[in-house]
Structure 1
Amino acid sequence: MLKRKKLAARWPALLPKLVPKLVPKFLPVLLTTLLTACAIAPGYNLDTSSLKEDAPGKPAQSYAVHPIDADLILQQAQQAAAQQPALPPGKFSDPSQYLYRVAPQDILGITVWDHPELTTPNGSTLSTGDNTTQTLAGAVQQPYTTALPGQADPYGQTVAPDGTIYFPFVGHIRVAGRTVGDVRNELAARLLPYIRNPQVDVRVLSFRSQKVQVTGEVKSPGPLAISDVPLTLLDAITRSGGSTEIADIQRVRLTRNNKLYVLDADSLLDRGDTTQNVLLQAGDIVNVPDRVDSRVFILGEVKTPQTLSMLRGRLTIADALTQATGLLDTDANPRQIYVMRGFKDSPDHPYKPEVYRLDLTQPDSIMLSSRFQLQPLDVVYVGTSASTTFNRVVQQVLPSLESLFYLKELTR
């Protein structure tokens, strides 16, 4: 114990003599420790000992860079005009040709004038499958928006699963797949032996057999009944309460016969393109997506790197840079405004991205930046200036140089 106290008292005097002798011996160990300090230093670090990487022997791929100029802008506009998305095939080319055909589970109302025993009384009510009832007049107005929820109804002529109904004096008559006019004419012809000059009227009281599903970003998603009034894409969105604030109506998805079609409902409202307002039919599924797939990423030397949503399917380079609050004044290279676009499938170069570059130092670059249209999932990257790269390297090396300088001073 006494020896330890004496050594501690003499330690300040011995330290200047021991440092010059010990540092040359332990300097390699000290440098190795500094270089591997990231493994034991506090903070986030990844242990890569369990990771196995391939040897860097493969040559790096090269990508062609397309300069953004007036010719490219013109080519982009021509390609956008020439690209017409495939429209789903339909039974009717024009809504004026549309005819509703009766199907099982529909409820028919049949009137035979001057024969009340064969006619449904106007005062009768029919069940909606809930705790309330609905009058005949209400049922006539109801089908143009939604189908009645009732499954079995004691009132009217419900079309059986085999497509037939039963009517007095006539018996079973097939009505499925036929128009109300065809059913009316057949009933009148088959009542002639029993009624002189019968006057018959047939109408659908409840359209329950055919429906369209509307899902996604609409205010009231759910099924819509197919009625004798043609139902178009815009009608379906409107009757579902309209689209929400985050809906992407430029990329409405329609599933028909197990095939997916993308329709642009915005072009109908913005440019009057009626070809996108397709006539819906039974079994269609309309999905109004959100704007998750219509994103653009702004990275690199900008003041606010972020993800931007395309407004009504459109966004230019100027819009993207403005929303990112501009370029970093001292760090950005205005000659290197890159746009990385998707992957281009080709036999020779599968999944090869397209790269475009804009030089903001040129006089016409400002106008070009406001005309170049970005596409969903594009990446806009702003390059770094050479001086900034050099300064950042110096900042990384400077702490190590300072440590070596102080270590050298201590050895003197």
Structure 2
Amino acid sequence: MTRRFLLPVLTAGFVSWLTACSALPGYSLDRSHMHEVNQPANEEMYDVHRITAQVIAELAAKVAQTQQPLPESRFSSASQYVYHIGPQDILGITVWDHPELTTPQGTTFSTGGNTTQTIAGALAQPYTTALPGQADPYGQTVAADGTIFFPFVGRVHVAGKTPQQVRDQLAAALEPYLHKPQLDVRVLAYRSQRVQVTGDVKSPGPLAITDVPLTLVDAITRSGGSTDNADLQRVRLMRHGRFYQLDANGLLDRGDISQDVMLEDGDIINVPDRSDSRVFVLGEVKVPTAVQLIRGSLTIADSLTSAGGILDTDANPRQVYVIRGMSSRPDAPDIYRLDMTQPDALLLSTQFRLQPFDVVYVGTASAVQFNRLIQQVLPTLETIVLTRQLTR
């Protein structure tokens, strides 16, 4: 009688000793000082949408409708673009047959250091380098109030005007002093207007706006091009305190010239990295991983291939889930399921386009879940049997 009573007690005590975290070596967490709060009374249910060709078409239409509007431009096309003079621009004025009124061609100047430059050299240099801090040609600098001084004419307001308009204005003002004056006005240094290019480009910094229209792709190219980690599909443009998202690769991939917007003075371009363009592949795959979007696009088939494919022995091919919207709607994400056993599954997997921060999860087969449960319980059963044998 005593033996029958001691056997269950010894068995329970030995198993409790084996399962106690404080009695076993290795890392463990003492949860005695932890108390979980705000536990939901009932588990929340989520709607799961089966992936079909109709669902894919509806999602594509939804993406097209939610595209952000493009920034408005002062010019409808590059052919209508005209540069307007501004303060700090440097003008070169030529009056034919009157060298005393013409900007000296051979005069050199210094910027305060060892750099000197002739006006001929200024005209030969690329317009991309006409920025403050570099060598400036000798000419008429537009003052902060938008005026220049010219002999016989005095102070002339030129800001906001085109070189052709300034030429006509000076010619009319010199008419009382010269017989049919012929003038030429050009901008020698573009310093009044600029854009800033930041982020993952090789040479970030300011770019001057010149008489040649400056577009988004031009700005990235003139900044040395993008780095290997740049996300050209999500380029950010800040204009007048408002953000726009542009696809710089849209011009090359789809011929979408609307994305190659014309830049204006004060624009800030930021080329981000690809950290915000990831999807996560989890569950019964060979290599759970985070996958970067390829040129802004990735499908279920692409993501599973990057993860090495699903596990043949453990995965449930009927349970390939896509969980979307966890970052913006953690309480109500969109969940889609693809049944890989269906004949059209391979086609659908190549057409369902993922979005940044989507989670692709491959479920576990029922038999595998049972086998894993047995593997967890079996050591405990073996311990009980061994303890019983020792106490006999």
What TM-score bracket applies, with the shorter chain setting the length? over 0.9
Q: What is the aligned partner in structure 2 of residue 180 from structure 1?
A: 163
The alignment status of 1:319 with 2:302, answered yes or no, reads yes
Q: What is the aligned partner in structure 1 of residue 86 from structure 2?
A: 103
Q: What is the aligned partner in structure 1 of residue 274 from structure 2?
A: 291
Q: Deviations over 1:301-351 (max 9, x none)?
A: 000111111110111111111111111111100000000011497xxx884
Alignment equivalent of 1:119, drawn from 97, 102, 117: 102
Matches within 5 A, 1:128-143: 130-142=113-125
Q: What is the aligned partner in structure 1 of residue 346 from structure 2?
A: 366
1-structure distance, mates of 2:119, 2:143: 21
Q: What is the aligned partner in structure 2 of residue 394 from structure 1?
A: 374
The alignment status of 1:338 with 2:321, answered yes or no, reads yes
Give the structure-1-normalised TM-score: 0.88
Q: Deviations over 1:37-73 (max 9, x none)?
A: 2244333322323322126452111111010112112
Alignment equivalent of 2:247, drawn from 258, 261, 264: 264
2-structure distance, mates of 1:311, 1:105: 44
Shift in Å at residue 151 of structure 1?
Answer: 7.7
AA of the residue aligned to 1:397: V
Once structures 1 and 2 are overlaid, which stretch shifts more, 353-362 or 41-50?
A: 41-50
AA of the residue aligned to 1:375: Q
The alignment status of 1:145 with 2:131, answered yes or no, reads no
- What SS does the aligned partner of 1:161 have? coil
Shift in Å at residue 23 of structure 1?
Answer: 6.2
Matches within 5 A, 1:7-406: 28-35=12-19, 37-54=20-37, 56-127=39-110, 130-142=113-125, 144-150=127-133, 155-343=138-326, 351-406=331-386
Q: Deviations over 1:12-59 (max 9, x none)?
A: xxxxxx999976665554444334x22443333223233221264521
2-structure distance, mates of 1:69, 1:154: 66
Distance 1:310 1:151, change over 3 A: closer
Query: Is the Cα–Cα contact under 8 Å of residues 194 and 207 in structure 2 kept in the other structure?
Result: yes
AA of the residue aligned to 2:105: N
1-structure distance, mates of 2:231, 2:224: 15
Shift in Å at residue 79 of structure 1?
Answer: 3.1
Distance 1:57 1:259, change over 3 A: closer
Q: Deviations over 1:348-404 (max 9, x none)?
A: x88410000000011111111111111111100000001111111111111111111
The alignment status of 1:411 with 2:391, answered yes or no, reads yes
Q: What is the aligned partner in structure 2 of residue 3 from structure 1?
A: none
2-structure distance, mates of 1:396, 1:350: 32
Once structures 1 and 2 are overlaid, which stretch shifts more, 201-210 or 95-104?
A: 95-104
| Cα RMSD for the two superposed structures | 2.4
2-structure distance, mates of 1:46, 1:360: 40
Gaps of 5+ in 2: none
Gaps of 5+ in 1: 1-17
Once structures 1 and 2 are overlaid, which stretch shifts more, 192-201 or 22-31?
A: 22-31
Query: Is the Cα–Cα contact under 8 Å of residues 118 and 138 in structure 2 kept in the other structure?
Result: no
Query: Is the Cα–Cα contact under 8 Å of residues 84 and 160 in structure 2 kept in the other structure?
Result: yes
AA of the residue aligned to 1:274: I
2-structure distance, mates of 1:198, 1:100: 24
Once structures 1 and 2 are overlaid, which stretch shifts more, 53-62 or 85-94?
A: 53-62
Give the structure-2-normalised TM-score: 0.93
Rg bigger for which structure?
Answer: 1
2-structure distance, mates of 1:52, 1:88: 52
1-structure distance, mates of 2:187, 2:62: 48
Query: Is the Cα–Cα contact under 8 Å of residues 109 and 117 in structure 2 kept in the other structure?
Result: yes
Q: What is the aligned partner in structure 2 of residue 8 from structure 1?
A: none
Distance 1:350 1:314, change over 3 A: closer
- What SS does the aligned partner of 2:79 have? helix
- What SS does the aligned partner of 1:188 have? helix
What is the number of equivalent residue pairs in this alignment? 391
2-structure distance, mates of 1:295, 1:381: 14
Shift in Å at residue 112 of structure 1?
Answer: 1.1
Once structures 1 and 2 are overlaid, which stretch shifts more, 143-152 or 51-60?
A: 143-152
Distance 1:148 1:271, change over 3 A: same
Query: Is the Cα–Cα contact under 8 Å of residues 301 and 349 in structure 2 kept in the other structure?
Result: yes
Query: Is the Cα–Cα contact under 8 Å of residues 145 and 239 in structure 1 kept in the other structure?
Result: yes
Distance 1:109 1:40, change over 3 A: farther
Identity %: 61
Distance 1:191 1:293, change over 3 A: same
